[in-house]
Structure 1
């Protein structure tokens, strides 16, 4: 009864908040116009009929879409005739997902988690099976999928201790959603134990898809060529989050000249202008990646700080950097994924907060691909030491990073085999 009442209250609250949700999307569309695209899809309305029976993969944002790219490649290797439905919640996810589409595939927004929107979505598309990436478990979606006899898989699944505590706090709402999951393919055994504790019955450990993401060698090579043009080391804050950029700039201003080039690559594109303002307010000369093409101009080569305000170029930035500071780990935000840096052979310095990617971080530390620092000031000092190291330490870390990334590949093939072996729902006439 409590679970029923919580579900009813949750659905009712979301329905009341629907106008505010749409207004928020419209406002975000001022900076990222894709948010204003096809707003009707957010509510489960579609202009024309479509084919049924696609395999549905939901990747909420850019990171999940990149992980999904490895899984999609493995699925297509096993079934070249596979037709996909890709859904996303963010503009960066949808934009990145467009590159994964082939003839016969489709792409749309994930509907708002209200009963009407979800039912319209499932009735219109009638997928044969649903795959949610990493953490995307929604109460209404899971309930309506079960009612429609649609198998649901949580792929590349992860659940931190913090998220488990939060899940238990809202257990009357989230436990039923976890129980309705057909299968969870967890990144680690620790993730699997926490997912079982939330109520999912069938959980298998399959590894982390992010080790299987293909790094664009042309982008890495371009970054390394730019590093040669600069003729000086590059210390980069990679995938930075709120609060980290200002703290880094304050610490950087205290370092003696000459300094390496400082590069900052924010996590969220809507913050690009904000970070540019912070850099200029701190008194540094700024060059923005978005303002040039394949080669940096002369004034950029002389700048003190580069702002990485471009999308889908992280391999370029990791190729450019001598050392990367791991964004999200110097504030209590859980850290970002360091696997991509390792795959590009870039040494990483992590802060104290890495609970979102705890096992990958610990494995990288043990492999010598990364080091942990107590805070941002300590990381800056260690980064400067490594940037001044002509050979041994930095080069050893780079070699360890490549070996670490290579040693953990194979999750995509394992997950693809399991997913394609599951029984699929037959589309209704």
Structure 2
């Protein structure tokens, strides 16, 4: 097992107790499959968490559509991503948790699944996994790849090691020209810019049958959505609601937390601000007495993008330093997009949307209040922002074709 085995087992057990792992599926994290390998061609598509999983689904659908004989194994590393996949995986696709980066667990995983191709959609480079893929001579592609200048500076100290890891990939599909240049600086031989595959995503799924009840409950009230919120942003939403309600007394603020398990803390935050709140997970709809509606369910963000004219993208004002979440999803479903200053994880995407007038950057809390007031009281301004967002999304519709074209030579012999 090696020295790291007991430590990793202990780590998995602790994570399971903290609900960060699925206890019933811990063997998968140690390389033991819970499903048989299907006969025939198998592509392994790995995505780290929910964000990457959503992008992976775009690619997955295209792969299966173009090759009716293909099966795809999708792996992820988080419980939420597994839940997301369970709802979305089509026929000929199956999900497993990715094994932790222990040599024996990696070997067991590869020996069972024997993938013909590997498509890797994660920024982390796992040394044991990539070395094993390379030693098995499995063609691999790094997709939707990002690499910051800060990472390049850090990795230059071990450039030879990083170059060896990157040599596992037949080709690297980078999101931007800057990303491509950074990969080349670390020794990557073949890098192509295909843009961010998130641009090519189908709209988030939504239950159309749930719309009438929500529309009826909300009525003519002005509403806005704070989407995929993190710690600190619910408190900000409550402060804004309290001030805006002086001008818009029937305002409804909808909070969709990124992690629904934080619901108790969010309810407490609303109570501290004396704002009545309803929890969607209880089956409740917002009443006229509710100031805040907490959508603490998984997979319903699309529903709230559809009913609201305006959304602020979460983790752009959060206490953890921010980073942002995908704004395309809101624009696709007709929401005007606003966001805070801390969107470094998707900076290129937000910058491009801002330059096109398809999103609006908020400098600080005061600017947030001013712009939220303007957009909620001026339907022309809000509609203009929505329309520019829709136009931006339409202009990005060809990205998937570029990705598939770049993959074609690698996939041809699979």
Give the match's secondary structure for 2:53.
Answer: helix
Match of 2:382 in 1: 394
**Is 2:313 the partner of 1:326?**
yes
Mark the CA change 1:206 to 1:253 in structure 2 (over 3 Å): closer, same or farther: same
Compared with structure 1, are the counterparts of its residues 14 and 161 closer, same or farther at alpha carbon in structure 2 (3 Å cutoff)?
farther
| Equivalence for 1:247 | 236
| Structure 2, unaligned runs of 5 or more | none
Match of 1:6 in 2: none
Q: TM-score when scaled to structure 1?
A: 0.86
**RMSD between superposed Cα atoms in Å:** 2.7
Find 1:272's aligned residue among 257, 263, 285: 263
Question: Which structure is higher in RCO with an 8 Å CA cutoff and minimum separation 6?
Answer: 1
Alignment counterpart, residue 182 of structure 2, candidates 178, 184, 194: 194
Distance, in Å, in 2 between the alignment partners of 1:403 and 1:308 is 28
| Aligned twin of 2:16 | 26
Is the 2:173–2:193 contact (alpha carbons within 8 Å) kept by the matching residues of 1?
Answer: yes
Q: CA deviation at 1:346?
A: 0.8
Cα 1:241–1:177 shift into 2, 3 Å:
farther
CA contact (8 A) 1:318 1:341 kept: yes
| Residue 75 in structure 1 maps to residue 66 in structure 2 | no
How far off its partner does 1:97 sit? Answer: 1.6
Q: Matched residues in 1 for 2:24 and 2:158: separation? A: 33
Counterpart check, 1:408 vs 2:399: no
User: Alignment partner of 1:38: what SS?
Assistant: helix
| Residue from 26, 43, 46 that aligns with 2:30 | 43
2:254 is matched with which residue? Answer: 263
Pairs within 5 Å for 1:297-316: 297=285, 300-316=287-303
Number of residues of Structure 1 aligned to a counterpart in Structure 2? 408
The whole-number CA distance in structure 1 between the counterparts of 2:219 and 2:336 is 19
Of 87, 107, 124, the residue aligned with 2:75 is 87
| Residue in structure 2 matching 1:418, options 394, 406, 410 | 406
1:365 aligns with 2:357: no
TM-score (structure 2 length as normaliser)? 0.89
CA distance in structure 1 between the aligned counterparts of 2:211 and 2:240, rounded to whole angstroms: 25
Give the aligned partner of residue 345 of structure 1.
Answer: 334
- 1:266 and 1:153 map into 2 onto residues whose CA distance is 33
Q: Partner of 1:302: helix, strand, or coil?
A: coil
**CA spacing shift, 1:14–1:400, aligned 2, 3 Å:** farther
Deviations 1:208-265, CA, capped at 9 Å, x for gaps: 2212222157547955873564312212211112222223323433444215211111
Q: Distance in 2 between matches of 1:38 and 1:314?
A: 27
Q: 1:158 aligns with which of 141, 146, 151?
A: 146
| Contact 1:129-1:425 at 8 Å conserved across structures | no
What are the Cα deviations for residues 337-384 of structure 1, in whole angstroms up to 9, with x where unaligned? 111111112111121112211121112112222111112342133112
1:140 has 2:131 as partner: no
Is residue 281–residue 295 contact of structure 2 (8 Å, CA) maintained in 1? yes
Deviation, 1:423, is: 5.7
Contact 1:230 / 1:301 at 8 angstroms: preserved in 2?
Answer: no
User: 1:119, CA displacement in angstroms?
Assistant: 0.9
Say whether the 8 Å CA contact 1:154–1:181 is kept in structure 2. Answer: yes
SS of the residue corresponding to residue 264 of structure 1 reads: strand
Task: Name the SS for the 1:422 alignment partner.
Answer: helix
Distance 1:64 1:422, change over 3 A: same
Residue 314 of structure 1 deviates from its aligned partner by: 1.5
How many Å separate the matches in 1 of 2:211 and 2:51? 21
Deviation at 1:326, TM superposition (A): 1.7
Q: 1:190 Cα shift? A: 2.0
Q: Are residues 201 and 276 of structure 1, via their aligned partners in 2, closer, same or farther at CA, if it must alter by over 3 Å?
A: farther
Q: Name the SS for the 1:46 alignment partner.
A: coil
Q: Is the 8 A contact 2:156 2:186 kept in 1?
A: yes
Q: Deviations over 1:150-183 (max 9, x none)?
A: 1221112223344444544665764532333222
The structural deviation recorded for 1:424 is 7.5
Alignment gaps of 5+ in structure 1 = 1-10
Match of 2:277 in 1: 286
User: Aligned with 1:238: secondary structure?
Assistant: strand
Do the aligned partners of residues 351 and 144 (structure 1) sit closer, same or farther apart at CA in structure 2, a change above 3 Å counting? Answer: same
CA distance in 1, matches of 2:314, 2:208: 20
